[in-house]
Amino acid sequence: MLKTNINLKSIDYRYRKIVNNIINKKRISENEAILLLEKAPLSLLGTLANCIREEKNKNYTYFNKNIHIEPTNICVFDCKFCSYSRLLKKRKEGWEYSIDQMLEKIKNYDKDSITEVHIVGGVHPKMGLNYFVDLIKRIKLIRPKLHIKAFTAVELDYMCKKAKVSYNKGLKMLKDAGQNSLPGGGAEIFSEDIRNKICKDKCTGQQWLEIHETAHKIGMPSNATMLYGHIESSEHIIDHMNRLRQLQDKTGGFNAFIPLKFRNKNNQMSEINEVNLIHDIKIYSISRIFLDNFKHIKAYWPMIGKKSSQTLLSFGVDDIDGTIDDTTKIYSMAGSEEQNPVMTTEEITKLISQTGKTPIERDSVYNVIKTY
């Protein structure tokens, strides 16, 4: 039973039974989650989410020391929400790093205690599976202990198809080269109705799930994401989470769930207003409540902002990602508050400590490195 001071008699009859089930650690249904998301008071959602957070992770809040490498923003796909990519016909507006250039970026951190490099970017037709196998091998030669978290399912789907290999074989090639895990990007919203409107030309939701299931089966953990705050409904949100919950039941391979807020600058969906912080809080809270088999809920601070990340630590979130060191442009180009995303270890631990939480430096799979 969850430790909580919630008085069931004071709760609206419409969700009293649901709340009782949550307190007794019983799984809630999709319809129950939709009702909570749409109707339950924010205070109730927040209290439940925080109780579950403390049950799973105590007072700890996790971060790591990481950098991003974005090989290119040239992309064959035309996702309507994306502010980052440039189509091939506009490649002069983008960038394409060589392997040597990417290795140089990593060498710049030879004296730093980073533990992870996160590699994602546009889907470039000339950067295929063998190209990235070579990149990973060469990274491991210069930083053998560096955890490589690389390639969204969208990138993997394209590179495997172009190389004419199965997901299993392509992922094994990357793993054998030294890749350690997968990020969660490219999930967006699994509903095909929504995908057909916002990203119809890239991998389907089912293919995303298949790639992550395949990775889990060969011993590569991953994260999961969801893009919210655009044209989706509550039903789409909970359906997305339910598919993730079902796969986690099957494989146990997800480390964390990361809701990603749609930002509306410089893209083809700029007419859609961004949702407010109250909506953010509801999404993160219901994520923590519904995803009972995910240990960690992450607020990716370069996307949501430092202040909002700090607030969300009281609404189910137990991880705010890492130090980054201004190595990602994906959300700054979309209008995030964090135009030059970087935090020192001192800054990130202070941000966490100000909320009364205990900062924990972790590795990429949540082994504790240091408690602050």
Shared domain check, 298 and 199: yes
pLDDT in tens, 144-166: 999 999 999 999 999 999 999 99
pLDDT exceeds 80 at position 80: yes
* 139 and 119 within one domain: yes
The answer on 264 and 181 residing in a single domain is: yes
Determine, yes or no, domain membership for 281.
yes
pLDDT at residue 83, as a whole number = 82
- Place 331 in a pLDDT band, splitting at 50, 70 and 90: very low
Task: Say yes or no: 16 and 75 in one domain.
Answer: no
- Return phi, psi of residue 174, to 5°: -70, -40
Q: Please give the biggest Cα pair distance in the chain.
A: 64
Q: Which long-range contacts (CB under 8 A, 24 or more apart) does 16-25 make?
A: 19/44, 19/48, 22/48, 22/52, 22/289, 25/1, 25/292
What is d(CA 298, CA 321) in angstroms, rounded to the nearest whole number? Answer: 7
User: In whole angstroms, what is the distance from residue 145 CA to residue 245 CA?
Assistant: 31
Per DSSP (E only), the strands in the chain are 60-64, 66-69, 116-119, 147-150, 222-228, 254-261, 296-297, 319-322, 358-362, 368-371
Angle at 63 (CA atoms; ends 62, 66), nearest 5 degrees: 155
What pTM value is reported for the model? 0.95
Name the β-bridge partners of 148: 117
The whole-number pLDDT of residue 144 equals 96
**Same domain? 66 vs 50:** no
Note down the domain range covering 15: 8-54
In a domain, 284, yes or no: yes
Question: Could you read off the pLDDT of 249-264 as tens digits, one per residue?
Answer: 999 999 999 999 999 9
Q: For helices 42-57 and 13-23, what crossing angle results, to 10°?
A: 10
Q: Are residues 28 and 146 in the same domain?
A: no
**Coil, helix or strand at residue 265:** coil
pLDDT, position 338:
52
* Better pLDDT: 339 or 223: 223
Tokens 């900062």, located at residue: 359
Is the pLDDT reported for residue 91 higher than 90?
Answer: no
**Cβ proximity of 225 and 260 under 8 Å:** yes
Do 27 and 159 reside in the same domain of the chain? no
The tally of domains found in the chain comes to 2
Phi, psi of 277 (to 5 degrees): -65, -35
Q: Which helix (H) or strand (E) holds 36?
A: helix 30-39
Residues 248 and 142 in one domain: yes
CB-count exposure of residue 279 (10 Å: 0-12, 13-18, 19+): middle
- DSSP letter for each residue of 280-310: HHHHHHHHHHH-TT-SEEB--HHHH-HHHHH
- pLDDT at residue 266, as a whole number: 86
Which CATH number do you get for residue 71?
3.20.20.70
Q: In whole numbers, what is the pLDDT of the chain averaged over residues?
A: 93
Q: Is residue 291 part of a domain?
A: yes
Task: Look up residue 236 and give its amino acid.
Answer: H
pLDDT of residue 324: 84
Q: Are residues 163 and 141 in the same domain?
A: yes
Strand-pair partners of 298: 319
Closest CA to 327 of 37, 45, 69: 69
Per the domain annotation, does 23 fall within a domain? yes
Residues near 7 by Cβ (< 8 Å), separated by ≥ 6?
none
In a domain, 278, yes or no: yes
DSSP-assigned beta bridge partners for residue 117: 67, 148
Same domain, 82 and 193: yes
